[in-house]
A = this chain, B = another copy of it.
């Protein structure tokens, strides 16, 4: 058996059955092994950031790792930004990078690069399999690493000779380490704080604390103590809608965040980090909580937040408490597109168990308030802030949901241009993806930020902030990649197109002029 065959057998045995790929010459034996061994669903992306973003979206919904297939250091480089996002999302990915043969590397052929150095910038685990005999064992370790903790990026670098040489063997799956035990002191401490000063306490939820049983447990704690619940601004995956906990987020804008957090004397962190600004601004603090606030960590990322909250419920003797009713489902809004109106329309029309991929940037900051009464759905954010993950994450999420659930992309136009090639994969795979491009033809967030400099942008600045001249025609771009599309000028038109798209098996794109 050659190294490539041992790799594919090991991946399949460990439950990795989806490969997001953009191959090159040095991966041909890996491609051949994928061809010859049944069982792997191979999905082509036409640029590597699409590939890595799809693997991220897949994990968020499937909760098991996919593998990638990337070509040498520069191919990995093209996919790094969405691996950065995946790392921040705690997505488990087996990131496989083919590379120059071990004995060819010293010759410094043109594509040779420092693949390991590139990988280390985004990976929790990096290993180069330098011999065919090691590939199976290393692949099993990579899957184990990807599944460990809340999910990790594990990069396996595969020189082409390790792929084609004989003498390899498939490896058995390795056991995934259990999450770390709870810290009884952390539970006791949080209980003490909440008993003493519940109304002055924020419970900040992140990562898996915004999903599943943690939600109801957090609500019981809040009801029993008067504490406030908030989620991080950027969450990889929130379970929302009817039957779930209505959560607001720490605001993005630093002044608003500081104002929101000012009154809390204590912050209990459940899988969350202390709230800090996305960026620094002159004369403003980096941290967004009150300087005198005390921070208390209830659970780390490598601990189970639901178990920690259950222990806290018990310590407090917090009674059962029904989740609050979010009120009636909104009606579709009418007229000129506004953030509120679009959010209401999406909430009114989304199918059951929809997945929302939200890279709406500035337009979408208020979407949460108007979508809580929608049917139960999953909401995926840009966890690492590197724009260009909305469309790839949507594409991978659709595959992670076995192509059975509608994925709705709420997608800023400027960000969409970073990875528009995703639309081609949506068309090829006939994925149930509805993309709503929020077409304002500018980097609107940056125009807002520019105001903070204390100046009005002149012609040179606007050349770098404005996406008009020429206007991007998203209907033609989508059509060029095989995705049907139409333009909407009003929310009624948008609603009609959304309804029609939800009846289709495949993708559709709505260019919403905002």
Residues of A within 8 A of B (CB): 21, 23-26, 28-29, 31-32, 34-36, 40, 42-44, 46-47, 49, 69, 72-75, 77-78, 80-81, 84-85, 88, 100-101, 103-104, 107-111, 113-114, 117-118, 120-122, 160-161, 164, 234, 273-274, 276-280, 282, 286-287, 383-386, 388, 414, 417-418, 420-421, 424, 427-428, 443, 445-446, 449-450, 452-453, 455, 457-461, 463-465, 467, 469-477, 479-482
Contacts and interface: CB of A to CB of B under 8 A. Distances in A.
Contacts of A386: 72, 74-75, 77-78, 111
A234 B110 CA distance: 9
Given A88-B110, A161-B280, A464-B42, A25 B474 contact: no
Contacts of A475: 480
A107 B316 CA distance: 32
Contacts of A161: 280, 282
Given A42-B463, A160-B279, 4 more contacts: A101-B279, A107-B286, A109-B278, A109-B279
A422 to B, nearest CB: 11
A463 B44 contact: yes
Given A47-B417, A104-B280, A111-B385, A458 B80 contact: no
Contacts of A117: 117, 120-121
A276 B111 CA distance: 12
A32 B31 CA distance: 49
B110 A385 contact: yes
A384 B279 contact: no
A42 B26 CA distance: 38
A507 B273 CA distance: 49
A10 to B, nearest CB: 18
A28 B114 contact: no
Q: How many copies does the complex hold?
A: 2
Max count, chain B CB within 10 A of own CB: residue among A24, A81, A474: A81
Contact of A23 (B42, B84, B446, B472): B446
Contacts of A427: 470
A55 to B, nearest CB: 15
B42 A460 contact: yes
B384 A25 contact: no
Contact of A476 (B100, B460, B476): B476
Contact of A35 (B43, B118, B160, B457): B457
Contact of A73 (B84, B418, B469, B477): B84
A100 B279 contact: yes
Nearest to A461: B35
Contacts of A445: 25
Contacts of A428: 469-470
Given A23-B446, A121-B118, A460 B279 contact: no
A120 B118 CA distance: 9
Given A31-B464, A32-B461, A458-B35, A110 B278 contact: yes
Given A28-B453, A417-B46, A464 B23 contact: yes
A458 B42 CA distance: 12
Contact of A118 (B80, B383, B388): B80
A482 to B, nearest CB: 3
A75 B25 CA distance: 27
Nearest to A29: B453
A9 to B, nearest CB: 15
B25 A388 contact: no
A444 to B, nearest CB: 12
B84 A80 contact: no
A510 B113 CA distance: 34
A121 to B, nearest CB: 5
Given A77-B80, A445-B25, A110 B383 contact: yes
A104 B74 contact: no
Q: Which 9 A-B pairs have the closest CB atoms?
A: A470-B482, A74-B386, A476-B480, A101-B280, A477-B480, A104-B280, A77-B80, A35-B461, A110-B385
A130 B80 CA distance: 25
B481 A472 contact: yes
Contacts of A88: 110
Contacts of A75: 81, 386
Contacts of A43: 463
B25 A279 contact: yes
Contacts of A477: 476-477, 480-481
A272 to B, nearest CB: 13
A320 to B, nearest CB: 36
Contacts of A384: 74, 110-111
A124 to B, nearest CB: 14
Nearest to A447: B28
Contacts of A446: 23-25, 28, 31
